[in-house]
Amino acid sequence: MREPLRFSGVMPANLLPFKADLSIDEPAYRQHLRWLADTRGVTGIVANGHAAEVSSLARDERRRALAIAVDEVAGAVPVVAGVYADGTAEAVALARDARDAGAAGILLFPPTLFMWGAQIKPDMALRHVAEVAAGADVPIVVFEYPPASGIGYAPETLARLAEIPQVVAVKDWSNDIVAFERNLRALRATGRPVAMLSSFTMSLMATFLLGADGAISGMGSVAADLQVELFAACQKGDLDGARALNDRLEPLVRVFYAPPFVDMHNRMKEALVALGRIPAAHVRPPLTPVPAAEREAIRQALRAAKYPG
């Protein structure tokens, strides 16, 4: 494997626009990708992640969505491809698809069966990641889930995963600032150049100040520009500037991540419609459309965040 990229900075996870018949809306998708890639300070884009409703995509659709992303932003920013699979063999196949399509790396989701007790069998995680690394030989971003989900890795397991040469970053969605700091310290203690990318969007400023190397965020599909500015302010130690930016992001955080949490990306699509960046907010079942009252709350949050419209 060639020398892997060290991922850092703000890397939005793109949303995936659909037509009314729920097929991929390629022109709208390309427009969305172009806005992300053209946002000053964005250092990469993550395709086929949660934000793109990856669990609803067939393998050929994942290939097509990734091919569009790589084609549209070629030469501007690297594209990382989500690998969402419950079986290791399938994960290897999807990782090879990503590598062959020109992805700069993969975001490796944990198998959902890990929730049944894999936390006390860390060798399961180590074998899974190691077999994907050996089978595809592509830079890997390990996806860390909240500990309460049962799928999250313990700090000690993350440190062991970081010893796998292809592992170049961790996307930390622990959603617990204490767990986040423990994970960060465990990674740093390995001495390996593994980036810590926050996905703790509900408290992004705190993770940046603790020392995150950047972020992978579905909310970045709407607010990448503000996230870039927030990261830069934290890097410079400009706490007043960071607090002001955090205050602008807060109304969006509140409306996007309100209960039920499962609707977060549906709401982000509605925000892109309100901003004129995509034409419609269709989502695939079992997700359901956002009701009118929530659409109005989203528009109010965009105004509070000082977005036009």
Confidence of residue 6 (pLDDT cuts 50, 70, 90): low
| Residue 309 confidence (pLDDT) | 56
pLDDT tier at 68, thresholds 50, 70, 90: very high
Section 54-59 average pLDDT: 98
**Helix (H) or strand (E) segment spanning residue 141:** strand 140-144
- Please, what's the largest Cα pairwise distance for the chain? 51
Domain-wise residue ranges, the chain = 9-238
pLDDT digits (tens, 9 = 90+) for 11-46: 999 999 999 999 999 999 999 999 999 999 999 999
| Amino acid 84: pLDDT | 98
Tell me, what's the pLDDT at 118? 87
Q: How would residue 1 be classed by pLDDT, with cut points 50, 70 and 90?
A: very low
- pLDDT at site 3: 43
Model pLDDT for residues 271-290, shown as the tens digit of each residue:
999 999 999 999 999 999 99
Residue-wise pLDDT for 111-154, tens only, equals 999 999 888 999 999 999 999 999 999 999 999 999 889 899 99
Pick the CATH number of 9-238 from 3.40.366.10, 3.20.20.70, 3.40.50.1000, 3.30.930.10: 3.20.20.70
Q: Report the chain's mean pLDDT, rounded to a whole number.
A: 96
pLDDT computed for residue 4 by the predictor = 47
pTM: 0.96
